[in-house]
Amino acid sequence: MKFIKTREEDLEENYLELHYDEIDEETAAVMERLRPALKYIEGTADGKKLTVPLADMFYFETVDRKTFGYTKDSCVEVKETLQGIIDEYEKVGFVRISKSSVVNLYKIKRLQGDLNMRTLIYLKNDECLVMNRGYRAEFYAALNKLQGRKKP
Amino acid sequence: MKLINRSNFISIVCVSFTLIVCGKLLFEKSLGFTDIYYTENIFTCLGISVLATAILSLHYYLQRFPFVPVVVGQYLLLIGVVFAAIWIGGHFTENAPSAYRDMFVSVTIPYVVGAIVYYVSFFMQIRKANQVFMNLDGEE
Check: CB of residue A57 under 8 Å from CB of residue A70: yes
Sign of the CA dihedral with B7 first, then B13, B14, and B19 last: positive
CB contact A14 to B (< 8 Å): no
pLDDT band for A107, please (50, 70, 90 cuts).
very high
DSSP state of A8: -
Average pLDDT over residues A45-52: 88
pLDDT at B118 over 60: yes
Residue B67 and residue A54: Cα distance in Å, rounded?
34
Residue A63 and residue B24: Cα distance in Å, rounded?
53
Nearest to A117 among B122, B129, B137 (CB): B122
Using a CB-CB cut-off of 8 Å, the residues of chain B touching A137 are 1
Average pLDDT over residues A47-61: 90
3 state SS of B65:
coil
What pLDDT shows up at residue B2? 66
pLDDT at A88 over 60: yes
CB contact A133 to B (< 8 Å): yes
Using a CB-CB cut-off of 8 Å, the residues of chain B touching A143 are 129, 132
Interface contacts A/B by beta carbons within 8 Å: 46
Query: Would the CB atoms of B67 and A118 count as touching at under 8 Å?
Result: yes
What pLDDT shows up at residue A124? 92
Closest chain B residue to A112 measured between Cα atoms? B126
The runs of H, that is alpha helices, within chain B are 9-31, 38-57, 67-89, 99-139
Q: Which of A77-81, A100-104, B45-49, B58-62 has the lowest mean pLDDT?
A: B58-62
Nearest to B66 among A106, A116, A150 (CB): A116
The runs of H, that is alpha helices, within chain A are 25-37, 82-89, 136-150
Q: How far is B2 from chain A (nearest CA, A)?
A: 9
ipTM score of complex: 0.71
Residue A27 and residue B104: Cα distance in Å, rounded?
65
| A34-62 b/e (C-beta count within 10 Å ≥ 16 → b) | eebeeeebebeeeeeebebebbebbbbbb
Query: Would the CB atoms of A143 and B129 count as touching at under 8 Å?
Result: yes
* A128 Cβ contact list (under 8 Å, min separation 6): A120, A121, A122
* B36 Cβ contact list (under 8 Å, min separation 6): none
Query: Would the CB atoms of B136 and A106 count as touching at under 8 Å?
Result: yes
Closest chain A residue to B125 measured between Cα atoms? A140
User: Is this prediction's pTM over 0.80?
Assistant: no
Average pLDDT over residues B52-70: 82
Average pLDDT over residues B70-96: 89
pLDDT at A151 over 50: no
Check: CB of residue A43 under 8 Å from CB of residue A52: yes
CB contact A140 to B (< 8 Å): yes
What pLDDT shows up at residue B1? 59
CA atoms within 13 A on the CB side of A31: 11
What pLDDT shows up at residue A149? 60
- Terminal-to-terminal C-alpha distance of chain A: 14
**Strand partners for A61:** A68, A101
Check: CB of residue A37 under 8 Å from CB of residue A92: yes
CA A145 to each of CA A78, A104, A121, B47: distance values in angstroms, whole numbers, following the listed order: 27, 14, 19, 40
Which one has a higher pLDDT value, B6 or B100? B100
Q: What is the mean pLDDT of chain B?
A: 86
